[in-house]
Structure 1
Amino acid sequence: MPIKRKALDSGRSSRASKRPTPVPDIGSSDEYSDYEDEVKDDNLKDVLEKFSLESFSNQKSAVQRQDPNFGYKDFSSLSLKPDHANRPLWIDPLKGTITLESFSPLAPQAQDFLTTIAEPLSRPTHLHEYRLTGNSLYAAVSVGLQPQDIINFLDRLSKTPLPESIKSFIVDFTKSYGKIKVVLKHNRFFVESTDPAMLQMLLQDEVIGSQRLKGAEGIIQQAAPKMGGLVIPGTRDAAGVKQASEQKPEDAAGEARKEDDILLAIRDDDDDDEQAQVHSFEIPNEAVEPVKARCQAMGCPALEEYDFRNDEINPTLDIDLKPAARIRSYQEKSLSKMFGNGRAKSGIIVLPCGAGKTLVGITAACTIKKGTIVLCTSSMSVVQWRNEFLRWSNIDPGDIAVFTSDNKEKFRRSTGIIVSTYSMVSQTRARSHDAQKMMDWIQSREWGLMILDEVHVVPASMFRKVTSAIACQSKLGLTATLLREDDKIKDLNFLIGPKLYEANWMELAEQGHIAKVQCAEVWCPMTTEFYSEYMREKSRKAALLYIMNPRKFQACQFLIDYHEKRGDKVIVFSDNVYALERYALKLNKAYIYGGTPQNERMRILENFQHNEQVNTIFLSKIGDTSLDLPEATCLIQISSHYGSRRQEAQRLGRILRAKRRNDEGFNAFFYSLVSKDTDEMFYSSKRQAFLVDQGYAFKVITHLQGIENLQGLAYSSPRERRELLQEVMLQNETSAEVEHVTDDLFSGRSGGQARKGGVKRSAATLSGLAGGEDMAYIEYNRSRNKQLKDKVGHHPLFRKLERERLKRKKELEDFMR
């Protein structure tokens, strides 16, 4: 029976936010941390602290006293309901933690509701854990839930009577939270609320009252918005509307029927109940930011909504999903959170890698049908986004433009789509003439939707530069890992909007939407020579010793051989470029890192995807994101970025796309090679924490059966291992550092000035250099990259000319005879 282990809990290091530059610290391993000056708006931090459950609990006088045996986890005072066995929820009255029995018949309904009102913490097979927070209640209110609805639901499913502390927490945090909305209608801004008393309180404020538009009506009362005739493309409703509208009308009256009436006939859940009323007053365009800032300071942050169907000033974009495009149920659910009341709410959607985040963004653009700007992390992502728009939608290629360092084009008509990178838009240094002209054109327009890909990498100050530079009505953030090691992810709830939806990874895997992955940690013993040097080494080179461990190299070689023979496509990841090149050259495999030219990258990736002779590639950290390789079925990790949980999840995402082959059980494999009894084991357990919380179990492999019988096993003799050790020890400390990627976001901010290359002096005799003392000149294997380059076929015209030349040469030789 294989050993299974759950990763240790990963607490955040208190030192992470105090260092001016990043160092190899397991508590702050996110390379995109923002190390600039503190954000100017100090109110953000105050609001974040104000809406935390811990601060709320500390304000209450009736705090549970600590039990000497059980600490604060003694809940014996809570009485169980008579039918508690049939109810699936346990609720911690102090921390707001909700434990769900996922095996309960009521679990599916409970999961949907809990995902809306609470933050998912851990979702393994049998027990799921959620936590009520200010941000989660913020999201619940934004989709229309009322405090009493939340309380009633929790009380109905809880095994114990709902604690008063939880009730008061929900009521206190939702009575004013999300009740205020800033809405753009007919190109006029309105402050809107369902509670007239709330608006009266705002008007009595000195700042907000003075910003009210003079000469306008008083408080306006009208019916609250509903979905009405709004149809999200790619759904069953959209297909029904299209089918009904294409039917031949029986009479003239039938011809006048509109899509709104068709949709109302399709939907069974629409009723004629009394419609809620909404109250509002108008403010000028320039007062939007001051009003939002003041509402935030008053403890009632204003939600942003865009009434795009009544926007008559901005031109409508001719875009829709292609007829064959159908979005999946979880994608439709996430978009229904965004367009729940017929308007576009700003917020964040969290889906695992390979689950179709790009299609969600494209469908949102097809729903709003206004000018859209898409921001990505790299130039490679820009190309992929443009291709996906052309693949899934019917947009004219001339209506979608690219703004990168190499391309600065505009769309041809009055509106369209721009795809760019964060760095291009937020750059503060002097631009080229063409780039500045393009940026001025982008800033002069009003955009209906801004899509932020991989939104977790955007620091607060950088996002402010982006939003201040570009005028947009709604913002949609997309990510697979709403996670940062520096805990700044909370900023996004106020800078973009609440988390609208988060999918369950294991549920999607069971439904076949993403691959079923077997995760394994392979323990590789250190050889005597390497471990002796590791124990003596005090510098960064110690990391290089456990990365270049010969036993780890042999395990990597064995796994590549095993999976290639069973028909898998293998990706090997290494953050350390020196190790990446040594492994790839020794095994004669192609590799890509930050210094690989763009054309060579594309050639290697095309061969990996379509050439049966190229089944393994080595990648540095540039492959962590923005790399679409659905053919890959096996991933091997030989070195990583210390304890980064986000990187572990992103790398797993490279093999998460649903596979074409229908193998029973697992159809993808994730191996993390770890040198035993080194710091790497501690980093590995920390890295696994996020994936374990998503329900993945890591199997520990202590011995690879049959590895000793592999032909051509590298470093199998003591002499080879000593030669490798000598080579590793001759490297300077910079060889032990992880790669600094220049094609990704903000890599230049990840630590101030670059370290200069070090030099190590070594005394040796000529006989030593000639082969004595285990030292020798080494002739490296020829790079597989160059072999692939040599195999590139010539153009048919040149092949024809070459054949004719050889033919003439042969005829001449025959004539001379």
Structure 2
Amino acid sequence: MSGKRTYDEDDDFSESSNSSGYDDDLDDPLFGSSKKTKTLTVAKRKPNEKVAEEVSSMDHLAHLPTGYVPDVVSKMFHRHDFSYLELKPDHASRPLWISPSDGRIILESFSPLAEQAQDFLVTIAEPVSRPSHIHEYRITAYSLYAAVSVGLETADIIAVLNRLSKVPVAESIINFIESATVSYGKVKLVLKHNRYFVESPQADILQMLLKDPVIGALRVDSANLTSSNGLTTAKAPTQGGLVIPGTKPGESSDNVEDIYAAVVGEKAAQEEEDDDDAFDAVHSFEISNDSVEVVKKRCQEIDYPVLEEYDFRNDQRNPDLDIDLKPSTQIRPYQEKSLSKMFGNGRARSGIIVLPCGAGKTLVGITAACTIRKSVIVLCTSSVSVMQWRQQFLQWCTIQPENVAVFTSDNKEMFRTEAGLVVSTYSMVANTRNRSHDSQKVMDFLTSREWGFIILDEVHVVPAAMFRRVVTTIAAHAKLGLTATLVREDDKISDLNFLIGPKLYEANWMDLAQKGHIANVQCAEVWCPMTSEFYQEYLRESARKRMLLYIMNPTKFQACQFLIHYHEKRGDKIIVFADNVYALQEYALKLGKPFIYGGTPQQERMNILQNFQYNDQVNTIFLSKVGDTSIDLPEATCLIQISSHYGSRRQEAQRLGRILRAKRRNDEGFNAFFYSLVSKDTQEMYYSTKRQAFLVDQGYAFKVITHLHGMETLPNLAYASARERRELLQEVLLKNEDAAGLEVGDDADNSSIARKDGLKRAQQSSAGQKKAKAQRTAGSLASLAGGEDMAYVEYTGNKNKELKEHHPLIQKMYYKKGKK
């Protein structure tokens, strides 16, 4: 409760400003005697009829059953009173509780049925928080869309929830599920024999679509009609005969039927199978290839969104790609489970798979490509990840090197065979500016082909406008998005549901860590007190300069130096992250370590990364935000973060992912370490708390370290004297505000900054715009008089520039006069 409730003389409720939730003079907030306790006693004497009239006008209590008359406590707790819900007799053995008001689901992860319940809940709901013992999920329209897309029926969802829930599923939840699934997944767009068909198991839905003036006019008459209603009828697709590479035939695919059988029971599942014969046929009608986008848009408008599937086994037009997993390659159970959601009915569904960093997202994409066996294009975020994807394809599968082409700013290759693989970046494909001859030649090659499969790596970081250009430029039948953090700070993550498809699978980070598939990480937040000199300037400087001051805090520098020294002695490989390029260079040069940022040449990047992985003398590297995503450093066991992008949850999780890959050393509880260095009593502490929200929801706990024992006695400790700290402070203050800026890239968190900077550059370079005569900046008279080691300097423009504005005759006369 946000404030205490008191009962006044007018027999009504009013709210005071005390945020503690109970009176200041209350000795014991639970059992103590106080005026609040008396207030509630008096209020309970209020007639039930009057309370019922007040409650009936509240929209947030609309989920209450008819005839329910709450007492005064119900009014105090508003929508959080569920005392009217009756527990089932065997509620102790059921793991779920479902909130009738907002679709929240609470799961007891210690229940014997928890594992089966988790598989089901990940399919129908969005994970909100999954710590050790209690998990929280939320049913949304998008999550139900994803559930229907993998084959779950409305009745199945409600039946399983009723079986697992401690209380009967509320009517409000049932109505929401029915309304959200009534049209989702009922219409599919399927490519068979290079002809597009609108398909549905219910003929009446297709008849309704054909009566629509837009869709009906785009229908193509088919010669092989097998029903009197003008539709083509065929047997529903099944997975029969399709074996995902890396798995053994006969292994449990953990598809929808398996989940349903696990939570409902084998007997109930067998009874359901008896009724399946009535629904083993699908109906369809054909549309022309040119009208696909129009039909998809129209179906979206009439609330029948189209689900895209690719019948790759019956695609005779596009040549097969000679690719398969090597016999030694075996995928893990959770990877197999994610792929079974994609290929559950023998076709390729477009969608998104969410796996933690280091859990093998790349191998999932490679296995999907080996299953479809058509031409593949892979899009990444950077040129470094392009080379790593190429190397991973050659390592895990049998594709020949000549069939793999790379399209970056340095390499512009094309495969020579009928089918092949291309690895590129989003920016190379989505670029709309003038291209070089070689680049345009490769783009023509990409756009003129029909691609069977497109893999979109780190799909969450791509701005929506760029992604739309990619989707419209590259014609691909099936799309798979891979990511570890399906979050964006601009709340545009929902766009991906329609640009790619629904979320097919999301893994549990803590579960994978317990099973040894990813590293067990100790997370810590190190509080670094600001020195008196730096904090004095911090309080008086502008916001951007403040950022530079708390990043360059000498105590933070010493903590970084101590942690590097400590973990190098343990034999760890250390990555230090800094978003601020100036701080990155200062830290790295002072400590004598290699560093990579946006301006580092590609060849130098590869040399530094290879030395870090294989050279025992290079145990620490400094990275800017170019290392946040798609850089594979399996040897890294320790990560230190000295500056970050404000409150970005995504960046925190992506950086943790650099050390999440399973480690060889398992001789201790924690085998990887994540340190976030934060300057105390600054804005950085607020941002740090926001950044940790996503990882805390995944089950990670951050340990707060207020003092590093032994740091003061470290040999050659930097900035140990007051003189060194003052010199550093003067150097920081002399830097302009550009040095306090963050490195900008094409991701979700930077999109707003990139737009502002791009607009500014466009305005400066626009035709006919003159350069500003003066630039206005905030300053002080002390700095102008040299009080802060600054001096006033006047600059005179070149006289030749003035001559250009005069008539040629005047210029000639002026030149002669000057010569004399």
**2:103 corresponds to 1:96:** yes
* 1:236 maps onto 2:236 in alignment: no
Query: What TM-score do the two structures reach when normalised by structure 1?
Result: 0.80
User: What is the DSSP-based 3-state SS (H/G/I as helix, E as strand, rest coil) of the residue aligned with 1:237?
Assistant: coil
Residues 1:150 and 2:154 aligned together: no
- Residue 203 (structure 1) shift: 1.2
- Aligned residue for 2:805? none
More contact order relative to length (CA 8 Å, sep ≥ 6): 1
Structure 1 partner of 2:531 = 527
- Structure 2 gaps of 5+ residues are 1-57, 254-269, 765-774, 791-820
- Of the three residues 233, 236, 256, the one matched with 1:224 is 236
Please say if residues 524 and 675 of structure 1, whose CA atoms lie closer than 8 Å, have aligned partners that are also in contact. Answer: yes
Q: Which of 695, 699, 702 is the aligned partner of 2:699?
A: 695
Are the equivalent residues in 1 in contact too, given 2:462–2:746 (CA < 8 A)?
Answer: no
Find the residue that maps to 1:708 and give its secondary structure.
coil
Alpha-carbon distance in structure 2 between the residues aligned to 1:330 and 1:227:
19
The one-letter code sitting in structure 1 at the alignment partner of 2:232 is I
Matches within 5 A, 1:602-621: 602-621=606-625
TM-score, normalised by the number of residues in structure 2 = 0.80
**Residue in 2 that maps onto 1:28:** none
Contact 2:222–2:286 under 8 Å retained in 1: no
Question: Equivalent residue for 1:107?
Answer: 114
Q: Does 1:305 find its partner at 2:306?
A: no
Instruction: Verify the 8 A CA contact 1:733 1:758 in the aligned structure 2.
Output: no
Instruction: Map 1:270-289; keep pairs closer than 5 Å.
Output: 274=277, 276-289=280-293
Greater mean deviation of Cα atoms: 223-232 or 532-541: 532-541
State which of 217, 225, 229 in structure 2 corresponds to 1:210.
217
2:484 matched to 1:480? yes
- CA spacing shift, 1:637–1:240, aligned 2, 3 Å: closer
**What is the number of residues matched between the two proteins?**
688
CA deviation profile, 1:698-735 (whole Å, cap 9, x unmatched): 00011112212212222222222222212211111111
**1:476·1:496 contact (CA, 8 Å) conserved in 2?**
yes
The answer on whether the counterparts of 2:462 and 2:747 sit within 8 Å (CA) in structure 1 is no
Whether 1:639 aligns to 2:643 is: yes
1:351 to 351, 355, 359: 355
Counterpart-to-counterpart distance in 1, 2:776 and 2:371: 56
Counterpart check, 1:740 vs 2:744 = yes
Q: Does 1:432 align with 2:436?
A: yes
Distance across 1 between alignment mates of 2:293 and 2:787: 73
CA distance in 2, matches of 1:302, 1:58: 34
Residues 472-495 of structure 1, C-alpha deviations (whole Å, 9 max, x = no match):
111001111111011111011011
Q: 2:91 aligns with which of 84, 88, 91?
A: 84
The residue type paired with residue 240 of structure 2 is G
CA pair 638-651 structure 1, distance change in 2 beyond 3 A: same
Query: 1:752 corresponds to which residue?
Result: 758
Q: CA deviation at 1:396?
A: 1.2
For residues 298-447 of structure 1, the aligned pairs below 5 Å read: 298-447=302-451
Distance 1:428 1:725, change over 3 A: same
Aligned to 1:249: none
Structure 1 pair 201–287 and aligned structure 2 pair: CA distance change class (3 A): same
Unmatched runs of 5 consecutive residues or more in structure 1: 1-56, 242-267, 770-817
Contact map agreement 2:74 2:81 (CA 8 A) in 1: yes
CA contact (8 A) 1:578 1:735 kept: yes
Describe the SS at the equivalent of 1:103: coil
**Contact 2:458/2:630 (CA < 8 Å) preserved in 1?**
no
Aligned amino acid, residue 115 of structure 1:
V
Q: What's the secondary structure of 2:87's corresponding residue? A: coil
1:516 corresponds to 2:520: yes
How far does the alpha carbon of each residue in 1:237-261 deviate from its partner, in whole angstroms, 9 at most, with x for none? 28999xxxxxxxxxxxxxxxxxxxx
The answer on whether the counterparts of 1:593 and 1:622 sit within 8 Å (CA) in structure 2 is: yes
Taking a change above 3 Å as real, the CA distance of residues 62 and 727 of structure 1, as seen in their structure-2 partners, is same
CA distance in 2, matches of 1:378, 1:98: 39
The verdict on how the C-alpha distance between 1:652 and 1:386 changes in structure 2, with shifts beyond 3 A counting, is same
SS at match of 1:72: helix
Greater shift in the superposed pair: 112-121 or 412-421: 412-421
Q: In 1, are the aligned partners of 2:63 and 2:100 still within 8 Å (CA)? A: no
Q: Distance in 1 between matches of 2:756 and 2:118?
A: 38
1:62: how far off? Answer: 5.2
Q: Which residue of 1 aligns with 2:55?
A: none
Aligned to 1:21: none
Is the partner of 1:709 in helix, strand or coil?
A: coil
Residue 70 in 1 paired to residue 74 in 2?
A: no
* Aligned match of 1:679: 683
1:276 and 1:613 map into 2 onto residues whose CA distance is 64
CA distance, structure 1, for counterparts of residue 125 and residue 684 of structure 2: 34
Provide the rounded CA distance (Å) in 2 between the counterparts of 1:271 and 1:316. 35
Amino acid at match of 2:239: M
Cα distance in 2 between the residues matched to 1:311 and 1:388? 27
Counterpart pick for 1:650 among 638, 654, 657:
654
Residue 629 (structure 1) aligned with residue 638 (structure 2): no
2:173 alignment partner in structure 1: 166
Question: Residues of 2 paired with 1:81 and 1:531: CA distance?
Answer: 60
* Deviation by residue 1:676-712 (Cα, 9 ceiling, x = unmatched): 1111000000000000000000000111122122122
Cα separation, 2, equivalents of 1:520 and 1:539 = 27
CA displacement at 1:59 relative to structure 2: 11
Contact 1:80 1:159 in 2 (8 A): yes
Residue 594 of structure 1 contacts residue 742 of structure 1 at CA under 8 Å; is this kept in 2? Answer: no
Higher alpha-carbon Rg: 2
Alpha-carbon deviation of 1:320? 0.3
For the residues of structure 2 that align with 1:215 and 1:765, how far apart are their CA atoms? 86
Paired position in structure 2 for 1:804: none
CA–CA separation in structure 2 for the residues paired with 1:309 and 1:472: 15
| 2:572 aligned to which of 547, 568, 573 | 568
Q: What amino acid sits opposite 2:298 in the alignment? A: R
Contact 2:63 2:101 in 1 (8 A): no
**Aligned counterpart, 1:41:** none
**CA root-mean-square deviation:** 2.7
Q: Contact (CA 8 Å) 1:456, 1:479: kept in 2 or not? A: yes
Offset at residue 156 of structure 1 (A): 0.9
1:201 matched to which residue of 2? 208
Contact conserved, 2:341 with 2:505, CA < 8 A, in 1?
yes
**Residues 288-346 of structure 1, C-alpha deviations (whole Å, 9 max, x = no match):** 11111111111110100010001111111111000101011000000000000000000
Counterpart in the other structure of 1:39: none
Measured in 2, the distance between the counterparts of 1:635 and 1:448 equals 39
* Cα offsets for 1:265-292 (capped at 9, x unmatched): xxx9999973611111111111211111
Q: Which moved more, 1:432-441 or 1:383-392?
A: 432-441
Tell me the CA shift for residue 191 of structure 1.
0.8
Alpha-carbon spacing, 1:338–1:743, altered in 2? closer, same or farther (3 Å): closer
Q: Is the 8 A contact 1:378 1:743 kept in 2?
A: no
Q: Structure 1: which amino acid aligns with 2:233? A: Q
TM alignment of 1:500-511, pairs within 5 A: 500-511=504-515
Larger mean Cα displacement after TM superposition, 368-377 or 64-73: 64-73
Q: Does structure 2 retain, via aligned residues, the 8 Å contact 1:544–1:728?
A: yes
